Amino acid sequence: MNNPISKNMQTVNKPVKTIIGSALVIDAREIFFDPNIHHMCEKMLNVTTAEEALKNYSSDTNKYSLIISNWKLQDKSGIEVLEHVRDINHPSFLIPFILLIPSDTYDELISYIAWANELGVDDIISTPFTMDKIVSKMKLFVEFHFNTIKNRALFHYAATHIFNGSLDEALLTLDSYKTLSPSIHYDHYEPFFRGLAAEKLDDTKKAEQYYCQSITMSGKRNFAHGINALIKLLVKTKRFDEAIKAAEDAFMKSPLNPQWKLHEAQIYLIQKEFKKAEGIYHFLINQNPKYQLYINKMIERFKKEQNIDADQMNNLTDEQRGQIKELSDKAKTYIENNLFDQAIRMYLTMMKIDETDPKKYMEIIASLNYKWYKTLTASGTLRNDYKTLINAIDYTLEILRMDCTDSRAIKLLIKIVQNEKKILNKILEPRISNEVISYVKDHITV
């Protein structure tokens, strides 16, 4: 029988001096413009945001052979880009990835490295760095790239076969792995993909054995895929306590990565233990305020998967839901009659009843204060203290302190600055004025 790997690898057997394909460089201009590094890559594309990078990468994954990303990006973190790229639903999920990690403190650096390692980063360069260090690192990486290119190619084919349902072809491809040179970086994927194939064949016992073997082989590196697969399998077979234990073990290895605690929360959602799930969400946001938007997106996805509405998640009683509905109806009537002060009182009361999501009420209160201010201005009854306008700004800033990416709050703040610019200079304290400018300066001229 022909070795299935041999016919697919004709293009990688020839010795080459540069990485074939394009290198995607994300917000790392020093690297992009260095001629020594350009010489190591056939082509290079430089982008400044994660969104632009992922759009380019997703449009043609086969075009790229390497990704180099900064940890700190304008719109997301480099670790989020790595997590997206390592999604096993994409056959090219093993594309080599180099991450530039800031080293503000040693402990923080070690935590970042642990998080990146578990997701399968191929190399790490701590910043600040010298170009000599970068060039030296890149030379070693190019050697690693070519020494392991067949390993990555084989798993690419295996993944493609599995996702296409060609399980016999996938297993035959995996049998060929023993013909390749061993690689500490990739060997654990062989039992991992066998586990995926076994799970597709409904052999959950064998799948679990393969996933456990993959986790053991991976050690502290690249273990995310194996543990994720194991947790999902344990949940699928309703072994919830074991799934929580696996997630807790993973969290101990990498406490910065929120996905392990999110696994726990998702299991609690399935079991309808909403208070425990809510407790985990608050813990995560307090631990990682910089990743609040990312965590919120994961929470919403989990809630949708379990068909859980906001009232269930907040664990409100029937009496509390009834109170909120009654207050909401009253508030709508007050707003229709321009009785904004009364409407605001209703929403403040609702916020006291439903303490788990104050931001949604604060957004309404901020907007109502500004509408009240505009109504008073139009009628000529505005007081000199500008209390309603200041309240609108205060609530908006409080929202942005909780989530600096909140689009509604930013839009309202931009609107206020554009319409009331002359007045703001007179009524705001310097520190508040500077804070307002910090949120709107990228959107309008101030």
pLDDT digits (tens, 9 = 90+) for 411-446: 899 999 999 988 898 889 888 888 898 888 877 776
Q: Is residue 313 part of a domain?
A: no
Q: Closest Cα to residue 371, out of 432, 411, 416, 435?
A: 416
Whether residues 157 and 266 share a domain: the answer is yes
C-alpha–C-alpha distance, residues 365 and 341, integer Å = 10
Confidence of residue 302 (pLDDT cuts 50, 70, 90): low
Handedness of CA 249, 232, 58, 292 (dihedral sign): negative
Q: What is the pLDDT of residue 356?
A: 67
Residue 16's SS3 state is coil
Whether residues 40 and 109 share a domain: the answer is yes
Single residue among 307, 338, 353 that ends a domain in this structure: 307
Q: pLDDT by residue (tens digit) across 179-234?
A: 998 888 899 999 999 999 999 999 999 999 999 999 999 887 778 899 999 999 99
Whether residues 98 and 194 share a domain: the answer is no
Percent of the chain scoring above 90 in pLDDT: 35
Residue 46's SS3 state is strand
Confidence of residue 237 (pLDDT cuts 50, 70, 90): very high
Q: What is the mean pLDDT of residues 350-360?
A: 82
Say yes or no to pLDDT of 4 above 60: no
Which tokens hold the place of 209? Answer: 């054995």
Q: Is residue 75 part of a domain?
A: yes
Q: Is residue 326 part of a domain?
A: yes
Q: What is the pLDDT of residue 358?
A: 82
Q: What is the pLDDT of residue 366?
A: 95
Whether residues 256 and 364 share a domain: the answer is no
Q: What is the pLDDT of residue 15?
A: 39
Q: Long-range contacts for 36-40 (Cβ within 8 Å, ≥24 apart)?
A: 36/131, 36/135, 36/138, 37/134, 37/135, 37/138, 40/138, 40/139, 40/142
Whether residues 31 and 114 share a domain: the answer is yes
Say yes or no to pLDDT of 313 above 70: no
E strand or H helix at 66: strand 64-70
Q: Is residue 312 part of a domain?
A: no
Q: Is residue 445 part of a domain?
A: no
Single residue among 307, 335, 365 that ends a domain in this structure: 307
Single residue among 147, 171, 206 that ends a domain in this structure: 147
Domain total in the chain? 3
Rg (the chain; Cα; Å): 27
Structural domain boundaries enclosing 193: 151-307
Q: Closest Cα to residue 57, out of 84, 38, 88?
A: 84
Q: What is the mean pLDDT of residues 1-29?
A: 60
Mean pLDDT over all residues of the chain?
84
Amino acid at 424: L
Q: pLDDT by residue (tens digit) across 32-76?
A: 777 878 788 888 888 989 889 988 888 777 788 899 999 888 888
Whether residues 377 and 268 share a domain: the answer is no
- Per the model's pLDDT, the better-predicted residue between 274 and 207 turns out to be 207
Whether residues 176 and 114 share a domain: the answer is no
Q: pLDDT by residue (tens digit) across 94-109?
A: 999 999 887 766 777 7
Q: What is the mean pLDDT of residues 245-268?
A: 87
Task: Name residues whose C-beta falls within 8 Å of residue 38's C-beta, 6 or more positions apart in sequence.
Answer: 44
The β-bridge relationship of strands 64-70 and 19-26 is parallel
Say yes or no to pLDDT of 7 above 80: no
CATH number at residue 90: 3.40.50.2300
Q: What is the pLDDT of residue 299?
A: 65
- DSSP track, 176-194: GGGGSPP-TTTTTHHHHHH
Whether residues 62 and 104 share a domain: the answer is yes
Whether residues 138 and 195 share a domain: the answer is no
Q: What is the pLDDT of residue 439?
A: 84
The least confident of 26-35, 150-159, 332-341 is 26-35
Confidence of residue 293 (pLDDT cuts 50, 70, 90): low
pTM over 0.75: no
Whether residues 241 and 325 share a domain: the answer is no
Say yes or no to pLDDT of 128 above 80: no
| Residue in the block written with tokens 């759009």 | 55
